[in-house]
């Protein structure tokens, strides 16, 4: 799963049953740009997918005009507000959930994201902890 969050409490996610490729990341960025007007601050972690040829070409071809990229150090989950959201989903919303199969997991994740959507203070806290607010 890849995702994006806003300090206002919007969570955008994309899930695949395989490893993400640069093209998948581009598709997600394009969806974000359709959903959110204006410039976007994209916080990149150290994943190699963010340095792929496809991403570099996408940015060079003009996508960088709307995207402000913030590159995190190699391993710095404490600087990534999204890590707090994933931690909250895993240890609070999905605590003790045991799934039969991938479809059941997807359904439980959808329900957990929906519950989290109403807890905007969690989003704000994750951004504050990472130093972005």
Count of the separate structural domains present in the chain = 1
Give yes or no for a contact between 40 and 12, defined as CB atoms under 8 angstroms apart: no
Q: Using a pLDDT cut of 90, give the percent of the chain over it.
A: 23
- Measure the CA–CA gap between 125 and 131, rounded to whole angstroms: 10
Averaged pLDDT of the chain? 86
The residue with tokens 């003009």 is: 62
- CATH number, domain containing residue 62: 3.30.420
How many helices (H) and strands (E) in the chain? Answer: 5, 4
**How does pLDDT run across 78-121, given as a tens digit for each residue?**
888 888 888 999 999 999 999 999 899 989 998 998 898 888 88
**How does pLDDT run across 47-59, given as a tens digit for each residue?**
888 888 999 899 8
Q: Where are the alpha helices (H) located in the chain, listed in sequence order?
A: 22-35, 53-60, 81-88, 102-117, 120-130
Quote the pLDDT of residue 124. Answer: 86
> What is the span of the domain harbouring residue 9?
2-130
Residue 133 pLDDT exceeds 80: no
Q: Which residues have a Cβ under 8 Å from the Cβ of 35 and sit 6 or more positions away?
A: 12
Quote the pLDDT of residue 1. Answer: 62
Mean pLDDT of 25-44: 88
Return the structure tokens found at 1: 């799963």
Q: The whole model's pTM is what? A: 0.76
């Amino acid at each position: 799963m890849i995702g994006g969050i806003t300090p206002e409490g919007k969570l955008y996610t994309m899930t695949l049953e395989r490893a993400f490729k640069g093209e998948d990341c581009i598709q997600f960025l394009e969806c974000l740009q359709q959903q959110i007007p204006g410039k976007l601050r994209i916080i990149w972690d150290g994943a190699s997918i963010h340095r792929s040829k496809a991403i570099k070409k996408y940015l060079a071809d003009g996508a960088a005009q709307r995207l402000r990229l913030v590159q995190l150090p190699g391993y710095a989950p404490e600087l990534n507000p999204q890590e707090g959201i994933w931690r909250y989903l895993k240890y609070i919303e999905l605590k003790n959930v045991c799934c039969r199969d991938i479809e059941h997991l997807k359904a439980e994740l959808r329900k957990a994201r929906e519950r989290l959507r109403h807890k905007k203070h969690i989003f704000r806290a994750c951004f504050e902890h990472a130093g972005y607010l």
